[in-house]
């Protein structure tokens, strides 16, 4: 999507710059037509808005000539968009999906949930300042469980909680009753954790429960939990360490591994360099060649190897080395590289907001927003009608094949209202049939979910109408995206793909304009380079022999960077450091080592088609586009309103 955004170029002049700031209300100015395309009007306001936005801080662009040039391009742009609409490119599923994605992003700054999200981010950060040590007991329950199964699971977790409150040990109860498989080995003990490491309802319950107490049942997507909080402590931040590991298991001799790690420890104490021993003896292939350095981690990240985490955080000074210790993977020695405290909120705000927006805790924000909007738009349902409608669901809806039976007077029977707008049973039934999918929920429960979705969609439509009334810039932004996507799609079909694929047309265009493709003396050359010169001795003979297969294999195996093309001497610094003659030459530039294979020195004159092809394709695109626009001008009438034209010149050039 971002590539398409970069190419959504308005009129070929400047990329659209997207501003999500809410616009200040401006004094109303007379709106009039600037021109029409196929009898569809384009206003002076739209043109002025786009011109100013695409020429910010460019006072030199506000001349009559520049404005006229932009107007001509703008008319061509609207012609292309009109053709795209005529072909139905705005009705495809791909277009609708992409435009809705853009619209959803554009709408966010105008929705009243920004403060809710900000408060959720701040709450999450405040929790990250503290680590909680807790144990839990789980009774499994599917998210879409029936009311009967839900009540059964709830009663079961309450029964277990009562036993513990009556004196039974929490750990023993966890090992006996918890349906979390790990409870049999850890007695439900989860160790220390912090925010964003557990599912959100669990996290909230843990942080809201006092040390030494047991929470009330809390439901997550896994089922019902009760949580015992054993301890709290200030967050330790993150730690970065290096390690040397000697593996055990897989029939390896544990005693031999132990002796090896203690011998390495003695050598370290005797002054042997860590990096040398790590590279030679460590059996962690992912880290041995970089001194055993591991990615930084925080509390809970090494929950499957708690001993490793405990030892890592026990070290205090960078360079400090641990005693040898064993985990289920083998014997280790850890060296502390650095400790990283929790960063200030200002540093983490952006990344944390991104994480929060991807996390299930956003449902809290969405639910709060939904409740706020229902109140704002005076949502009022008709309970009796709603009850009758939900009763229409049958088992076919579980397969996504439901067809609503006839409902008496469905065109007029009101299901709910938003402000003064009434929504009928018929509108909802159409929505439900169109949007249903297979589900494991009960029919009535799933139809109620579709009902709530329909209410939310209806509110969102009214909210968008409100945004459009209060923020004119939002309308323009929507239209820019809408027409920008259409422009991309139609240009791809009519110009870009045609020019790239039409080799016959390219040759014909080149032959007709060969005088446009002249060049001075230049070299046909290939460059091979990397940060080490170790490759030079092995690759140079292959280049000198012209062994293309051997060259390609060597480049791939050694991950060399390459570049091939036609270059003037002054265009490449490396060409100024090697002899200007055919052959293979080595040189160094800015810490990179090069082999320059000058295949040929070409005299001044016309470029060959292959050499000129990138420029030919670009010029051929321009040629095709020009001819196509001329055809569109014949197909669709264009009429410029001289009064409107005079107005935009006066407005844009006023001091």
Residues 207, 219 within the same domain: yes
Domain assignment of residue 547, yes or no: yes
Q: Do 222 and 257 lie in a common domain?
A: no
DSSP 8-state assignment for residue 385 = H
Q: Give the contacts of 314 (CB within 8 A, at least 6 positions apart).
A: 322
Picking from 220, 188, 216, the residue whose alpha carbon sits closest to that of residue 203 is: 220
- In a shared domain, residues 213 and 295: no
For the chain, the domain total comes to: 4
Considering the domain architecture, whether residues 204 and 295 belong to the same structural domain is answered as no
Q: Exposure pattern of 260-283 as b/e (b: 16+ CB <10 Å)?
A: bbeebbeebeeeeebeebbeebbb
Q: Are both 293 and 272 inside the same structural domain?
A: yes
Residues 378/417, Cβ–Cβ less than 8 Å: yes
pLDDT at 11: 36
409 lies in the same domain as 397: yes
229 and 135 both lie in a single domain: yes
10-residue averages of pLDDT along the chain (655 residues)? 42 34 45 93 93 90 94 96 96 92 82 76 95 96 88 96 96 96 92 93 96 96 96 95 93 91 95 94 93 93 89 95 95 96 94 88 79 92 95 94 90 94 95 93 92 94 89 87 94 93 95 95 95 91 94 93 93 94 94 94 94 94 96 96 95 82
Phi, psi (deg, nearest 5) at residue 567: -140, 140
- The CA-atom distances, in angstroms, between 215 and each of 130, 177, 225, 324 are 18, 17, 9, 39
Same domain, 284 and 192: no
Q: Which residue has the tokens 């808005």?
A: 49
pTM of the entire structure?
A: 0.59
Alpha carbon 271 to chain centroid, angstroms: 48
Q: How confident is the model at residue 303, as a pLDDT?
A: 79
299 contacts 193 by C-beta, under 8 angstroms = yes
* The pLDDT value given to residue 113: 66
| The pLDDT of residue 23 | 39
Task: Answer yes or no: is 12 within a domain.
Answer: no
Task: Report yes or no on 16 lying in a domain.
Answer: no
The residue range of the domain holding 424 is: 377-467
Helices 443-470 and 472-491: angle between axes, nearest 10 degrees:
110
Say yes or no: 419 and 328 in one domain: no
- C-alpha 621/C-alpha 493 separation (Å) is 12
Asked if the structure places residue 51 within a domain, the reply is no
Domain contains 567: yes
- Looking at residue 119, what is its pLDDT? 86
In this prediction, residue 469 carries a pLDDT of 87
pLDDT of residue 316: 94
Pairwise CA distance, residues 141 & 609, whole Å: 69
Residue 77 to residues 37, 99, 391, Cα–Cα distance (Å) = 10, 19, 52
């Amino acid at each position: 999507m971002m590539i398409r955004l970069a190419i959504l170029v308005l009129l070929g002049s400047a990329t659209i710059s997207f501003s999500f700031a809410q616009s200040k209300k401006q004094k109303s100015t007379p709106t009039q037509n600037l021109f029409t395309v196929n009898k569809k009007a384009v206003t002076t306001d739209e043109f002025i808005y786009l011109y100013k936005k695409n020429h910010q801080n460019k006072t030199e662009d506000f001349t009559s000539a520049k404005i006229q040039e932009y107007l001509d391009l703008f008319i061509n742009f609207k012609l292309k968009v009109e053709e795209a609409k005529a072909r139905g490119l705005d009705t495809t599923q791909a277009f609708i999906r992409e435009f809705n994605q853009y619209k959803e992003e554009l709408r966010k700054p105008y929705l009243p949930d920004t403060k809710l999200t900000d408060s959720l981010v701040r709450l999450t950060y405040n929790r990250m300042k503290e680590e909680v040590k807790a144990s839990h007991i789980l009774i499994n329950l599917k998210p879409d469980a029936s009311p009967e199964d839900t009540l059964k699971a709830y009663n079961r977790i309450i029964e277990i909680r009562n036993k513990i409150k009556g004196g039974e040990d929490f750990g023993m109860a966890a090992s006996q009753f918890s349906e979390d498989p790990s409870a049999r080995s850890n007695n439900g003990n989860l160790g220390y954790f912090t925010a964003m490491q557990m599912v959100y309802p669990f996290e909230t319950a843990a942080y809201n429960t006092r040390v030494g107490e047991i929470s009330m049942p809390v439901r997550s997507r896994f089922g019902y939990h009760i949580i015992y909080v054993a301890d709290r402590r200030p967050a330790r931040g993150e730690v970065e360490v290096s390690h040397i590991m000697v593996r055990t298991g897989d029939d390896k001799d544990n005693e031999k591994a132990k002796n090896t790690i203690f011998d390495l420890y003695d050598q370290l104490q005797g002054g042997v360099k860590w990096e040398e021993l790590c590279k030679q003896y460590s059996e962690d292939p992912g880290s041995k060649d970089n001194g055993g350095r591991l990615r930084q981690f925080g509390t809970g990240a090494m929950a499957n190897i708690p001993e490793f985490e405990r030892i890592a955080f026990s070290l205090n000074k960078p360079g400090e080395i641990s005693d040898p210790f064993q985990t289920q993977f083998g014997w280790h020695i850890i060296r502390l590289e650095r400790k990283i405290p929790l960063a200030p909120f200002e540093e983490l705000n952006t990344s944390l907001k991104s994480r929060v927006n991807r996390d299930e805790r956003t449902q809290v924000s969405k639910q709060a927003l939904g409740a706020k909007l229902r109140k704002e738009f005076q949502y009022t349902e008709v309970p009796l009608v709603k009850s009758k409608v939900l009763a229409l669901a049958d088992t076919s809806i579980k397969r996504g094949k439901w067809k609503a039976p006839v409902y008496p007077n469905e065109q007029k029977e009101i299901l709910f209202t938003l402000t003064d707008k009434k929504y009928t049973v018929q509108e909802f039934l159409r929505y439900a049939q169109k949007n249903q999918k297979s589900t494991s929920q009960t029919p009535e429960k799933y139809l109620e979910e579709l009902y709530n979705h329909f209410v939310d969609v209806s509110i969102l439509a009214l909210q968008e109408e409100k945004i459009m009334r209060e923020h004119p810039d939002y309308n323009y932004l929507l239209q820019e995206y809408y027409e920008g996507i259409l422009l991309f799609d139609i240009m791809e079909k009519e110009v870009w793909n045609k020019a790239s694929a039409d080799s016959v047309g390219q040759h014909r265009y080149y032959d007709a304009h060969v005088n446009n493709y002249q060049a001075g003396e230049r070299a046909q050359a290939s460059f091979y380079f990397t940060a080490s010169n170790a490759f030079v001795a092995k690759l140079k003979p292959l280049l000198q022999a012209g062994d293309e297969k051997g060259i390609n294999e060597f480049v791939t195996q050694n991950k060399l960077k390459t570049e091939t093309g036609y270059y003037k001497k002054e265009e490449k610094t490396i060409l100024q450091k090697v002899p200007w003659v055919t052959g293979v030459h080595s040189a160094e530039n800015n810490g990179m080592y090069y082999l320059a294979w000058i295949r040929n020195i070409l005299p001044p004159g016309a470029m060959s088609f292959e050499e000129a092809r990138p420029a030919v394709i670009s010029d051929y695109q321009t040629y095709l586009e020009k001819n196509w626009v001329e055809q569109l001008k014949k197909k669709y009438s264009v009429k410029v309103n001289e009064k409107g034209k005079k107005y935009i010149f006066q407005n844009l050039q006023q001091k």
